[in-house]
Amino acid sequence: MTSHIKTLVQQLDGKADESYDARAELIWIGADAIPAVINGLPSLGGFGQLTAIEVFEEVGDPRCGPALIGLLDSDNPTVREWAAMALASLEIDGAIEPLRRAYRACLERATPPDWTESVGIRWALTELDARAPVVPPLTAHLRATTAANAPGWPSAHFAEIINDLADHAQVILYSQFWRVDSDRTYGVSGPGLDWDLDWTAPWEHLIEESRTWSLLEASEAPTGSNIFVAPTWIDRTDLYPER
């Protein structure tokens, strides 16, 4: 069995069908496969390591924690992102400080805070109660009035939310729109405005730039009683974290 598991681990780097089949079998084997997956990680390429992370998450064995922490130093940004999110979803002990270091490394590489790696690491820190997003009272109240399963805020209140966040010194990065029908959620195309912020600018400038662009987006956003908006925003401490 051991040699077979080792073969499966190497197949994680194979063609799509081969990798998918190996992933499925490793998940089926479960905890007995985890040591071999951990040992095989260094020999895998980026695709294989991403698939191995999926195995770790599906099996849910905390022994993969040190290996996931090690992947935070990968040269592949997607591997770093997935490893960070897996650490949070598996609630790995001792993950908070490595995640903080990984986030500071993102900033040192000048990775924009709206790129998926930055977003993923912030999400992980939030899930582990190591980061508390600023949610102003009005924004919190407007969300509380929606259905419990709604993925965000009613789009009719989008402009109010934008101004409330900006008035509390928050910078909106982007927003996603969703439609809820019969307890099912569907993505909805937004205005699709293409805007980028100059992250070297003063924080106050970033606030007002994001407010201006977001309000323009709100003026063109889809509306309806079943349409919701989920903005993503950051606080100054996310761009300038304490060491």
pLDDT at 165: 98
- Token pair for residue 31? 């905890």
132 belongs to a structural domain: no
Query: Which among 106, 127, 148 is the end of a domain?
Result: 127
Rounded to 5 degrees, what angle do the CA atoms 31, 37, 42 make?
155
Query: Which among 103, 127, 151 is the end of a domain?
Result: 127
154, 218: one domain = yes
Q: In Å, how far are 144, 157, 234 from 135, measured between CA atoms? A: 12, 15, 10
pTM for this model (two decimals): 0.91
Query: Which among 73, 105, 127 is the end of a domain?
Result: 127
- Which CATH number does the domain housing residue 122 bear? 1.25.10.10
Q: In Å, how far are 19, 24, 93, 110 from 63, measured between CA atoms? A: 22, 19, 10, 32
Cβ–Cβ < 8 Å for 65, 87 = yes
54 belongs to a structural domain: yes
* Structural domain harbouring 41: 2-127
180, 112: one domain = no
29, 71: one domain = yes
155, 123: one domain = no
> E strands along 171-210, which residues?
171-181, 184-188
Round to whole Å and give the CA distance between 216 and 219.
5
28 belongs to a structural domain: yes
Number of structural domains found in the chain: 2
pLDDT at 114: 94
- Token pair for residue 59? 């099996």
Output the tens digit of pLDDT for each of the chain's 243 residues: 688 999 999 999 999 899 999 999 999 999 999 999 999 999 999 999 999 999 999 999 999 999 999 999 999 999 999 999 999 999 999 999 999 999 999 999 999 999 999 999 999 999 999 999 999 999 999 985 655 566 789 999 999 999 999 999 999 999 999 888 877 888 888 887 888 999 999 999 999 999 999 999 999 999 888 899 999 999 999 999 876
pLDDT at 144: 58
151, 120: one domain = no
100 belongs to a structural domain: yes
> Tell me, what amino acid is at 54?
E
Q: In Å, how far are 1, 3, 90, 150, 178 from 181, measured between CA atoms? A: 47, 49, 31, 10, 10
